[in-house]
Structure 1
Amino acid sequence: MVEALSIIFFLYVLIKVYISVMQIGYVARAKDMPPVLMKPSSWIKSARYLISNERLKIVETLVEYALFVFWLSWGIRWLDTMTWNMDPILQAVIAVDLFLIVNYIVELPFSIYKTFVIDERFKFNHSSPELFIKDQMKGSLLTLVFASLLSAAIAWIIINVPMWWFFSFLLVFAVIVLLNLLYPTVIAPIFNKFTPLEDEELNEKIRQLLEKSGFESEGVYVVDASKRDARLNAYFGGLGKSKRVVLFDTLLDKLNDNELLAVLGHELGHFKHHDIYKNIAMLGGILFVGFYIFGHMPTSLFMELGVRETPAMIMVLFMLLISVFMFIFMPIMSFVSRHNEYEADRYATQIHGNSGDLVSALKKLVDENKSFPKAHKLTIFFYHSHPPVIERLKALGDKSVYDEKEDEALKGECSV
């Protein structure tokens, strides 16, 4: 059984590395084509930025594999030995926290390198080392608190409740819904400052737009995203009465009112089509399958690993393999998400009255965020929750940026 898991994880790593290699080759070829949606300098810069991130992703994936080998060959036994004489619930909390801490220490250098080397080189990073450290400390503390509480609860369920996997799934799913409710008003303000939108004229326009969709919001807020990053964004956060409209301060500086309303119209499309609830339900279905599988792991697996079949070891194995499990379902989730993006674009043109402002906004977002507008089909298939912006512009009736001959030229060999 251990050998089978090792082969599956190796194939998972191999596929991830292959996708990154193909993406690097594709973008390296594409950057020599005539620029689309960007000035030549931005076109080259965005391609180099993407290639740098993909190369880092390859190294991360290889380290992920090394970490998997460590846990499977020695680390899990170490956790079991470290907590041998503890109460089963305390053992679960300690083992899960230690697992998370070791993984965090291994992954932290990649986050530092991306922020202070890659993002700094391409003029995206606005974060200082002090702010980065504060963010890491806050995020780590929140993660450990939630992980400790959740692992203790799941351990109790495993010990005391028949069909523990089903009730553990219900608990985790409930926590996911709760976090969505708490995020905009409780969690996000821990990291960023949210202030009500002061532009009364724009506020009124947004209010009228929300009324057209029947969207009840707690308010329109501006977040100080620029203290960390130069990218533009906007989103609706929360569920039920906690919903709020959140605008990045960087977005207000770059888009005019009509373009901003078109972007919000797109987000309202997700609300109108209940995409948030559909996504949560889809995630719930995937988690249900995952808990069922992990709830029926054979005792022989624990024997091969040399550990006891305790709540702690069950949860550690779950966390060790969940990335592979989610990767299997990623193409389905990405496909559904891309479909939803097209539908949200259509809704935005209906409620806003024209597609021109959304087209203009998308072009600005691509240029300002230095988002390279082309990608290899494998990357799109697995990872892209949004369709390529060129395809979105085509669907909105703007064909000026699409060149079929150019696209055909990129279908050739895409090796590094």
Structure 2
Amino acid sequence: MLEIFVIAYCLYFLFSTYTSFMQIGFVKNAKKMRPIILDDEKYLEAADYSVEKEELSIISAFYSFIIFLCWIGFGLNTLDSLLTIESTWLKAVVFVDLFIIINWILGLPFELYTSFKLDKKYGFSNMTPALFIKDTLKTGILFLVFGSAVIAAISWIISSFNSWWIWGFIFIFAVIILINMLYPVIRDKMFDKFEALKDKELEEKIINLLNQVGFKSSGVFSVDASKRDNRLNAYFGGLGSTKRVVLFDTLIQKLSHNELLAVLGHELGHFKNGDILKNIAIMGVVMFIFFAIFGNLSDEIFLGLKLQNEPYAIITIFLLFSPILSFFLMPLISLISRHNEYAADEFGSNMQSKEDLVSALLKLANENKSFPLSHPLYIFFYYSHPPLTERFKELGYDVQNDSDNALKDSIYADAN
């Protein structure tokens, strides 16, 4: 049985690296073509950024594969032999915590390179060593306190129920819902500075927009995202009474009022179309599948890894092998998501105008250096949003068939 999981992990590794190689080759060829959507300089820069990210992804995948082989070869057994703890729940907490911490330490070089080398090279990252350390310490404290509590609870559920995976699923699903409710509050208190919008005219327009679709929130806020990153973004955070509209300060600086309203109109389209509830339901189904599989593991897997069939081992195996299932389920989830994005675009363009939404998407693509073309296989696996070329086509701008650049010029005129 362990062999099946290992083979599946090898296939996952091969598929993921193959898609990255295909994407690199595709982007390098597309880079030589006439620029579309982005201006000439940003088009070349976005292509280079896309290629460098994928090259780093391939190196990271090889590195992660070696770490995986070390864990199943001797790492898990060595860690188990070092921890002589009789308490079932305490051993689960210590073992799983150490497993996660060791993986984080081993992956730290890639995180540091991305933040302080790659993203700074392309003008994204504003991260400082002091802020990185501060964020890391806060995240570590949250993990050790709340993560350990969740591990202890799951350990107790595994030890207490024969069909523990059903109760474990219910518990973890509830925890995820709670995290989504508290996310904006946690970000506000520990990481970001949330402020009421200083532009009262914009705030009034946003509130009117929310009222049109019956979206009730606890407020509209600006967040100082630029202290870490220059990318543009906005989101509706929280659930129930904690719902709030959050605009990155970078977005407010770069987009006009009408463009901002078009972006928010798109997000409200997800709300009006029930996509939030659909995504929660999909997440629930995926999690149920995960728990059904890992809740009924054969003893052969534990024997192969030289571990006891106990909570600490079950949770660790779940963490070690769940990326495989996530990767192969991703195309279906992404397909559903892309369909929802088209519908949200239509709703957003009707709430404001197609011109405003196209102009906003154009600015987002340029500022975020999003290369507009990708290999079909890469889109199939990774794109939760349709390619910009397809989104523009649905909105009436067929940029790929614009041979004389007139359409591209008209989009830039709209953006300016």
TM-score by shorter chain over 0.5: yes
- Deviations along 1:240-277, whole A, 9 cap, x unmatched? 12110000100111111001100000010011112122
- Deviations along 1:267-303, whole A, 9 cap, x unmatched? 1001111212211110110110111111110112211
2:42 is aligned to: 42
How far residue 120 of structure 1 moved from its aligned partner, in angstroms, is 1.1
The 5-angstrom pairing of residues 64-75 of structure 1 reads 64-75=64-75
2:134 is aligned to: 134
- Hey, what's the Cα distance between the residues in 2 that align with 1:188 and 1:155? 31
How far residue 189 of structure 1 moved from its aligned partner, in angstroms, is 3.7
CA contact (8 A) 2:389 2:399 kept: no
Out of 26-35 and 343-352, give the one that drifted further: 343-352
How far residue 347 of structure 1 moved from its aligned partner, in angstroms, is 0.7
- Hey, what's the Cα distance between the residues in 2 that align with 1:145 and 1:320? 22
- Hey, what's the Cα distance between the residues in 2 that align with 1:369 and 1:159? 48
- Deviations along 1:74-112, whole A, 9 cap, x unmatched? 111123222234200100000110010010001111010
* Alignment CA distance shift 1:107-1:188 (3 Å): farther
- Hey, what's the Cα distance between the residues in 2 that align with 1:404 and 1:379? 26
- Deviations along 1:294-333, whole A, 9 cap, x unmatched? 1110112211221111110111111000111111111111
SS at match of 1:195: strand
| Root-mean-square deviation over aligned CA pairs | 1.5
CA contact (8 A) 1:334 1:384 kept: yes
- Hey, what's the Cα distance between the residues in 2 that align with 1:231 and 1:177? 27
**Structure 2 gaps, min length 5:** 405-416
- Hey, what's the Cα distance between the residues in 1 that align with 2:137 and 2:79? 24
- Hey, what's the Cα distance between the residues in 1 that align with 2:55 and 2:109? 15
CA contact (8 A) 1:210 1:216 kept: yes
- Hey, what's the Cα distance between the residues in 2 that align with 1:299 and 1:15? 29
2:370 is aligned to: 371
SS at match of 2:343: helix
How far residue 397 of structure 1 moved from its aligned partner, in angstroms, is 1.1
How far residue 210 of structure 1 moved from its aligned partner, in angstroms, is 0.4
- Hey, what's the Cα distance between the residues in 1 that align with 2:392 and 2:190? 36
Q: Which letter does structure 1 place at the counterpart of 2:387?
A: P
1:92 is aligned to: 92
Q: TM-score, normalised by structure 1?
A: 0.95
2:413 is aligned to: none
Q: Which letter does structure 2 place at the counterpart of 1:160?
A: S
1:157 is aligned to: 157
The 5-angstrom pairing of residues 192-341 of structure 1 reads 192-341=192-341
Percent same amino acid at aligned positions? 48
- Hey, what's the Cα distance between the residues in 2 that align with 1:245 and 1:348? 16
SS at match of 1:8: helix
Out of 396-405 and 265-274, give the one that drifted further: 396-405
How far residue 401 of structure 1 moved from its aligned partner, in angstroms, is 4.8
1:80 is aligned to: 80
Instruction: Detail structure 1 runs of 4+ shifted over 3 Å in the superposition.
Output: 400-405
How far residue 140 of structure 1 moved from its aligned partner, in angstroms, is 2.3
- Hey, what's the Cα distance between the residues in 2 that align with 1:40 and 1:199? 33
Q: Which letter does structure 2 place at the counterpart of 1:367?
A: N
CA contact (8 A) 2:2 2:300 kept: no
- Indicate yes or no: 2:344 matched with 1:344: yes
How far residue 134 of structure 1 moved from its aligned partner, in angstroms, is 1.1
How far residue 188 of structure 1 moved from its aligned partner, in angstroms, is 4.7
CA contact (8 A) 1:394 1:402 kept: no
Q: Which letter does structure 1 place at the counterpart of 2:393?
A: K
How far residue 385 of structure 1 moved from its aligned partner, in angstroms, is 0.8
The 5-angstrom pairing of residues 113-192 of structure 1 reads 113-192=113-192
SS at match of 1:246: strand
- Hey, what's the Cα distance between the residues in 2 that align with 1:176 and 1:217? 20
Q: TM-score, normalised by structure 2?
A: 0.95
1:388 is aligned to: 387
Q: Which letter does structure 2 place at the counterpart of 1:292?
A: A
- Hey, what's the Cα distance between the residues in 2 that align with 1:62 and 1:33? 31
* Alignment CA distance shift 1:187-1:230 (3 Å): closer
- Hey, what's the Cα distance between the residues in 2 that align with 1:134 and 1:207? 34
Q: Which letter does structure 1 place at the counterpart of 2:84?
A: W
1:408 is aligned to: none
- Hey, what's the Cα distance between the residues in 2 that align with 1:403 and 1:327? 36
Q: Which letter does structure 1 place at the counterpart of 2:374?
A: A
SS at match of 1:221: strand
- Hey, what's the Cα distance between the residues in 1 that align with 2:92 and 2:403? 56
- Hey, what's the Cα distance between the residues in 2 that align with 1:333 and 1:68? 26
- Hey, what's the Cα distance between the residues in 2 that align with 1:375 and 1:14? 19
CA contact (8 A) 1:37 1:401 kept: no
Q: Which letter does structure 1 place at the counterpart of 2:358?
A: V
CA contact (8 A) 1:269 1:348 kept: yes
Q: Which letter does structure 2 place at the counterpart of 1:395?
A: E
1:361 is aligned to: 360
Q: Which letter does structure 2 place at the counterpart of 1:296?
A: N
- Hey, what's the Cα distance between the residues in 2 that align with 1:325 and 1:188? 33
